[in-house]
Structure 1
Amino acid sequence: MDRPPRYAVTMPGPPGRHGPPEVVVVHATGGVTADGTPVYQDEAGAFQVAIAGDVARPLSTAPGAGRHTCLHAVPLP
């Protein structure tokens, strides 16, 4: 199965502030996790996620993602 080359990952707004979510675009790295899940990262390389289906699991810390174990991911063309 072909994997999308990039995804839009929704990062929640700051807790208790009702701020809008932030969308981060991540690109395929060609790497995989120990269980074979594809790894994606932002352009700066500071934010990495493993994406399975429409769920992105953070592999690195990024503002807003620290306390979240899963984030919504949408494939992009």
Structure 2
Amino acid sequence: MSDEKRYALTFPGTPGTQAPQDVVIVSWTSATGPGGHPVYEDASGIVRAEISDSGEVRMLASGGHQSPHLPVHAEPLPQT
């Protein structure tokens, strides 16, 4: 299990535009994802991701009819 408690997930901007990338901060939850790794979520609970010890990210749907996009980067953040 990873010692990281928070990650910054960076998602690409809108294709075909010069929109900035979106950054979402996710925090550790006590849940485990389908791959057996810890689940992290944002404050709203909408953005959920399973993140392995090696930094691999699997986005998890938090509701029906979602098709979550993969982040381009997952950066561990210092513990507060």
- Report what 2:74 is aligned to: 73
What secondary structure sits across from 1:40 in the alignment? strand
Output the TM-score relative to the length of structure 2: 0.76
For the aligned residue pairs, the C-alpha RMSD in angstroms reads 2.0
What is the identity percentage for the equivalent residue pairs of Structure 1 and Structure 2? Answer: 40
TM-score, L = length of structure 1: 0.78
Confirm or deny that 1:22 pairs with 2:22. yes
Displacement of 1:57 in angstroms is 1.8
Structure ranking higher in strand proportion? 1
The answer to which of 52-61 and 33-42 deviates more is 52-61
| Structure 1 residues without counterparts, runs of 5 or longer | none
1:2-13 matches, cutoff 5 A: 2-13=2-13
Superimposed CA distance per residue, residues 17-41 of structure 1 (whole angstroms, 9 cap, x where no aligned partner): 1211011000001111132111000
The equivalences for 1:27-38 within 5 A come to: 27-38=27-38
CA distance in 2, matches of 1:28, 1:49: 10
SS for the counterpart of 1:49 is strand
Q: Which runs of 4+ in 1 moved over 6 A?
A: none
Structure 2 runs not aligned, ≥5 long = none
- Per-residue CA deviation, residues 28-76 of structure 1 (Å, 9 max, x unaligned), is 0111113211100000111101112233221027xxxx46345411110
Counterparts of 2:56 and 2:20 in 1: how far apart (Å)? 20
